[in-house]
Amino acid sequence: MIQQGSALFGVRFGSTTQYCLIDIDSHSPYHPDHDPLAISRIAAALEPLGLVNHLTCTSSYSGGLHLYFPFPIAQNSWELAIAVTALLETNGFKLKPSQLELFPDPKPYRVEGNPTLFNAHRLPMQAGSYLVDSDFQPIWSDPEQFAVKWHSVAAQNILDTAVLKRVIKQVKRRCHHISGKADKFINDLNAEIELGWTGSGQTNYLLGRITMRAYIFNHVLTGKPPLEGHALVTEIVRTARALPGYETWCQHQYELEHRATEWASCIENSHYFHYGDAKGRYQTKLESSELKSAATGLPSWNQQQSESARGRIKAAIVELLERNTLPVRPTARFKALIQAGIGGGSLYRHRDLWHPDYFDGFGTEESIELENQVVQNTQPALQESQQKISQPDQTISTIDNSLSSQTSLLHTAGGDNLRQLGFSDLLADFEPVGGNNLGEPGIVPQDWLAVQVVATAEARTNAQKICVEAQQQAHLARIQRYFASGDPILIAEALAWLEVAQLPRPDD
């Protein structure tokens, strides 16, 4: 089947290998047509490992070269790849796809904790593959001649494992961990890209695939920094020109760089981002906006959204106050604000603006401003109630009927008994069904909103006292633990605090 030439056959490395292969593309700067001494320099770079000889053949009709370095004793494939890569890079060679490639390749990423498969290379002596002489000119060859020369070269390459281990220890290479889906994405892109052009009308699609692989996964595949800007455009152009069928089928060779620039700009402004960026493009843009806002002194996007939410909450509170429909209980108030168009998440984040029992926000300028609005809105009703009480011809029953006709903001069926609290718009002598008896008979409360302001202030004062006392008790307990620990530093700190607080020492 290989001799028929109807298909190309390749091989993929296992966990161990008895050779390594260096692939030099015909367009590579290391090809003899561009640098006659490059291959000699590559061979010299690998001599410290004991690889002193190699056999060279053409890869295909494209004119690329394959340099095989066989050796008799099998070695770990990944360790060999790391050591050879390190020696080549130390001597100034840059491994790049379609220019200078190594097989087995040093996989810079792992899929869910497991090493990925090594890249495959085509078998020698297929269509267009010939052994070459010292001038890199093809000579008559067949699989039998190739095998004879292979064994001859392998006998000369006695790989030095001590040098191999030493080189590996000196290499510090980052290994990316990727998911199974990302690995499938990479393989799918590779399958579409490496096929190259097989006909006309494929340029736009192939450039899109090349751009995605270069932008998203280049740093994963090569271990180098992610590509952006001009470097991304250069990689797109280089990969496209090296693909099979480019010169034959690509009808946009004259504007390839322009097309590559358009694709690079497109993906850099899309939702795609460099793989492994935990923040993602959305979060990166937010941080960029915050940095820009800090530099200009203007509020960031997050700050603007927060201020907008607080403004809507305050406006809804004021509107409910003006209509005298602001509920007393937190749950009822929460539901009322939800109906006013405020999101539940915003209400939880800004409880200090609406929750009657939220202590952390007391004393802030916004809380004081809101309290002033409550007082301003309830002052007319309070004065009116006081005038009615002071008029001798006004009876309790009249006030009772006028106030009890209003809709209650509390459920009368079930609930807490608030006899000692003025937290309702109901009259004291109104008996609810199975629920809240709110006062002594014959006492007419003032407007419930005004009473709420006073009660809220009292609750705040009591809560603050409770918080202070709790903090003091917790601090005293911590001081006692300091003394019980026996640690001289903690004991010294505890004594210093007692001295400042003018409290007696434990031994006193």
HEC-encoded secondary structure of 376-395? HHHHHHHHHHHHHHHCCCCC
- Let me know if residue 49 belongs to a domain: yes
Over the stretch 26-43, which tens digit does the pLDDT of each residue have?
889 999 999 999 999 999
User: What per-residue confidence (pLDDT) applies to 214?
Assistant: 93
Q: What is the mean pLDDT of residues 224-237?
A: 90
Which stretch of 255-264, 352-361, 436-445 has the lowest confidence by average pLDDT? 436-445
Question: Of 97-106, 419-428, 436-445, where does the model show the most confidence?
Answer: 97-106
- Range of the structural domain that residue 241 is part of: 179-268
Q: Which of 156, 177, 198 is the last residue of a domain?
A: 177
Over the stretch 321-354, which tens digit does the pLDDT of each residue have?
878 888 878 888 888 888 888 888 888 888 888 8
Indicate the angle between helix axes 256-268 and 203-222, nearest 10 degrees.
Answer: 60
Q: What is the mean pLDDT of residues 380-403?
A: 46
User: What per-residue confidence (pLDDT) applies to 363?
Assistant: 40
- Let me know if residue 349 belongs to a domain: yes
User: How many helices and strands, by DSSP H and E, does the chain display?
Assistant: 17, 9
Q: What contacts 383, CB < 8 A, 6 or more positions away?
A: none
Structure tokens at 68: 């095989």
Q: What contacts 267, CB < 8 A, 6 or more positions away?
A: 211, 212, 215
129 and 105 belong to one structural domain: yes
Q: Is the pLDDT of residue 431 over 70?
A: no
For residues 267-279, one letter each, b for 16 or more C-beta atoms within 10 angstroms of the residue's C-beta and e for the rest, the string is bbeeeebbbeeee
Q: Which helix (H) or strand (E) holds 194?
A: helix 180-194
- Let me know if residue 2 belongs to a domain: no
First to last CA, the chain: 100
C-alpha Rg value of the chain to the nearest Å: 40
Instruction: Using the structure block, give the residue that is written with the tokens 């603006």.
Output: 353
Instruction: Using the structure block, give the residue that is written with the tokens 């001599």.
Output: 47
169 and 39 belong to one structural domain: yes
User: What per-residue confidence (pLDDT) applies to 37?
Assistant: 93
329 and 258 belong to one structural domain: no
- Let me know if residue 275 belongs to a domain: no
Query: Can you name the residues that pair with 96 across neighbouring β-strands?
Result: 100
Q: What is the mean pLDDT of residues 184-201?
A: 87
316 and 245 belong to one structural domain: no
Question: What's the number of CA atoms in the CB half-sphere (13 Å) around residue 46?
Answer: 29
Instruction: Give the C-alpha separation, 371 to 502, whole Å.
Output: 39
Q: Which of 157, 177, 197 is the last residue of a domain?
A: 177
448 and 382 belong to one structural domain: yes
Structure tokens at 312: 């809507």
85 and 30 belong to one structural domain: yes
Q: How confident is the model at residue 56 (pLDDT cuts 50, 70, 90)?
A: very high
Q: What contacts 463, CB < 8 A, 6 or more positions away?
A: 357, 359, 362
Q: Which of 177, 212, 238 is the last residue of a domain?
A: 177
3-state secondary structure 118-155: CCEEECCCCCCCCEECCCCCECCCCHHHHHHHHHHHHH
DSSP state of 73: E
Q: How confident is the model at residue 213 (pLDDT cuts 50, 70, 90)?
A: very high
- Let me know if residue 55 belongs to a domain: yes
User: What per-residue confidence (pLDDT) applies to 384?
Assistant: 54
- Let me know if residue 297 belongs to a domain: no
170 and 228 belong to one structural domain: no
Over the stretch 57-84, which tens digit does the pLDDT of each residue have?
998 888 899 999 999 999 999 889 989 9
Q: Identify the residue with better confidence: 94 or 434.
A: 94
Long-range contacts of 463-470 (CB under 8 A, 24+ apart): 463/357, 463/359, 463/362, 464/359, 464/362, 467/359
Q: Is the dihedral of CA 50, 55, 59, 65 positive or negative?
A: positive
- Let me know if residue 84 belongs to a domain: yes
> Which residue, 175, 162, 161, 126, is CA-closest to 146?
126
20 and 120 belong to one structural domain: yes
Q: How confident is the model at residue 379 (pLDDT cuts 50, 70, 90)?
A: low
Structure tokens at 456: 């809220």
User: What per-residue confidence (pLDDT) applies to 285?
Assistant: 55
- Angle (CA) 82-238-175 rounded to 5° is 25
Question: What's the number of CA atoms in the CB half-sphere (13 Å) around residue 58?
Answer: 20
Q: How far is CA 184 from CA 116, 189, 190, 303, 487, in A?
A: 11, 9, 10, 40, 57
Length reported for the chain: 508
- Let me know if residue 144 belongs to a domain: yes
| DSSP-H helix ranges across 27-179 | 38-46, 77-90, 143-156, 161-170
Q: Cis link prior to 104 (omega < 30° from 0)? A: yes
User: What per-residue confidence (pLDDT) applies to 462?
Assistant: 63
The answer to pTM > 0.95 is no
Q: Identify the residue with better confidence: 87 or 446.
A: 87
User: What per-residue confidence (pLDDT) applies to 392?
Assistant: 45
123 and 145 belong to one structural domain: yes
CATH at 68: 3.30.70
Answer whether 404's CB lies under 8 Å from 430's CB.
yes
Q: What is the mean pLDDT of residues 173-192?
A: 77
Pairing of strands 176-178, 109-111: parallel
Answer whether 78's CB lies under 8 Å from 17's CB.
no
Q: What is the mean pLDDT of residues 411-431?
A: 39
188 and 165 belong to one structural domain: no
Q: Identify the residue with better confidence: 490 or 158.
A: 158
250 and 384 belong to one structural domain: no
Structure tokens at 462: 């009591």
User: What per-residue confidence (pLDDT) applies to 425?
Assistant: 40
Q: Is the pLDDT of residue 420 over 50?
A: no
User: What per-residue confidence (pLDDT) applies to 407?
Assistant: 40
310 and 386 belong to one structural domain: no
Domains in the chain: how many in total?
5
